[in-house]
């Protein structure tokens, strides 16, 4: 199987999980603050990933017959670096959603598909004309999908979510540069633990976390923690081992499409013709980006 295609398949599953998480994030903040919700879901993800990564570690030791450190220095440092950007991006998104519409948030968050290749130019990775075409196609699709009937104006929430897209782009590049040769589950465990603890400290300072309110929000926290954070961010690290960061960002931007599908299935929201057209354009951009390059003579 082509490496890029394998990575894209893994990242497509990531986008599906993230897309449905928009519903969980919206529901989860009805009773608790943004930082409390973020701390709860990330620490839950950390608790799920700890035994998983330990079991995989022991299985690897058994198969190789060699004793290894559970967490070596490089894994911890890379996990903290990824967790730093993950915390920043998620916090900006979570707080920004409270001050803007879901449509604006979905469109602006996915702008990382443009930011990643632009940053990549400064690192010696120049995207082909076809990839730039796919990026343009995906952005038009995102606009049709997320901005229908709302017009465009920048609120304070929009500014925060735009900053979140930039930090998510840095997270994608950090994963690509540093995590490729490491155990994806262990890196994900460290980044979730770091981001969750930072979120918890800030929640205790700026919010008033209440155990009963957190317990009442168990379902959205459970989905966002176990699947969106624990599973999807681990799949992102694994998927990016095979896919170029620019292609990875295009595939992951499909989370906006699946957010709309989640709204249809879970909230009975009927999509407009513009939203359907946006989905078609985004899927087309993703498919075109996966087509094999023509080799030069």
Q: List per-block mean pLDDT (blocks of 10 residues) for the chain, which spans 297 residues.
A: 79 89 78 91 95 91 87 94 96 84 71 84 80 86 68 72 91 91 92 96 92 91 92 92 84 80 72 79 77 55
- Of 284, 77, 255, nearest to 168 (Cα)? 255
Is residue 82 included in any domain, yes or no? no
Is residue 125 included in any domain, yes or no? yes
Is residue 253 included in any domain, yes or no? yes
Is residue 188 included in any domain, yes or no? yes
Given this model, what pLDDT does residue 78 score?
96
The radius of gyration computed from the CA coordinates of the chain, to the nearest angstrom, equals 19
215 CB-near residues (< 8 Å, 6+ apart):
none
Instruction: State the number of CA atoms in the 13 A half-sphere of 177 facing the CB.
Output: 15
Q: Say if residues 11 and 251 touch (Cβ distance below 8 Å).
A: yes
- Of 202, 198, 192, nearest to 228 (Cα)? 192
- Of 64, 21, 20, 16, nearest to 262 (Cα)? 20
Cα separation, 246 vs 131, whole angstroms: 8
Whole-Å CA distances, 166 to 102, 113, 119, 173, 281: 18, 10, 10, 11, 23
124 CB-near residues (< 8 Å, 6+ apart):
none
Is residue 10 included in any domain, yes or no? yes
- Of 111, 87, 109, nearest to 38 (Cα)? 87
- Of 22, 19, 40, nearest to 31 (Cα)? 40
Own/partner pairs, 122-125, CB within 8 angstroms, 24+ separation: 123/173, 125/244, 125/245, 125/246
Is residue 239 included in any domain, yes or no? yes
Residues 260-280 as b/e (b if ≥16 CB within 10 A, e otherwise) read: bebbeeeeeeebeeebebbbe
- Of 90, 98, 88, nearest to 156 (Cα)? 98
Is residue 250 included in any domain, yes or no? yes
Element (H, E) at 297: none
Domain housing 141: 3-64+92-290
Calculated CA dihedral for residues 13, 264, 31, 188, nearest 10 degrees:
0
Q: Whole-model pTM?
A: 0.83
Cα separation, 271 vs 242, whole angstroms: 33
The tally of domains found in the chain comes to 1
Cα separation, 195 vs 233, whole angstroms: 12
Whole-Å CA distances, 12 to 180, 225, 283: 18, 19, 11
What is the DSSP annotation of 261-281?
Answer: HHHHHHH-PPPPHHHHHHHHH
Given this model, what pLDDT does residue 267 score?
65
Given this model, what pLDDT does residue 297 score?
44
Instruction: State the number of CA atoms in the 13 A half-sphere of 297 facing the CB.
Output: 0
Is residue 29 included in any domain, yes or no? yes
């Amino acid at each position: 199987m082509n490496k890029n295609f394998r990575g894209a398949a893994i990242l497509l599953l990531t986008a599906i999980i993230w897309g449905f998480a928009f519903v969980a994030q919206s529901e989860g903040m009805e009773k608790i603050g943004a930082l409390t919700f973020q701390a709860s879901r990330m620490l839950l993800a950390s608790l799920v990933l700890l035994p998983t990564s330990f079991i995989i570690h022991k299985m690897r030791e058994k198969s190789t017959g060699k004793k290894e450190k559970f967490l070596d220095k490089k894994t911890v440092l890379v996990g903290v670096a990824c967790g730093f950007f993950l915390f920043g991006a998620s916090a900006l998104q979570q707080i920004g959603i409270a001050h803007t519409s879901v449509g604006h948030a979905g469109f602006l968050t996915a702008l990382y598909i443009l930011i990643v290749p632009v940053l990549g130019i400064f690192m010696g990775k120049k995207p082909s004309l076809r990839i730039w075409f796919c990026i343009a196609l995906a952005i038009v699709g995102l606009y049709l999908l997320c901005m229908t009937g709302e017009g465009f104006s920048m609120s304070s929430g929009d500014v925060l979510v735009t900053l979140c897209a930039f930090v998510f782009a840095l997270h994608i590049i950090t994963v690509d540069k540093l995590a490729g040769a490491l155990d994806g589950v262990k890196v994900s465990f460290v980044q979730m633990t770091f981001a969750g603890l930072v979120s918890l400290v800030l929640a205790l300072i700026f919010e008033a976390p209440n155990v009963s309110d957190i317990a009442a929000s168990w379902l959205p926290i459970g989905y966002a923690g176990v699947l969106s954070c624990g599973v999807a961010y681990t799949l992102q690290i694994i998927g990016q081992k095979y896919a170029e960061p620019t292609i990875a960002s295009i595939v992951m931007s499909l989370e906006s499409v699946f957010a709309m599908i989640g709204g249809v299935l879970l909230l009975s929201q009927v999509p407009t013709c513009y939203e359907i057209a946006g989905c078609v354009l985004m899927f087309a951009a993703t498919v075109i980006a996966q087509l094999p390059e023509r080799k030069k003579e």
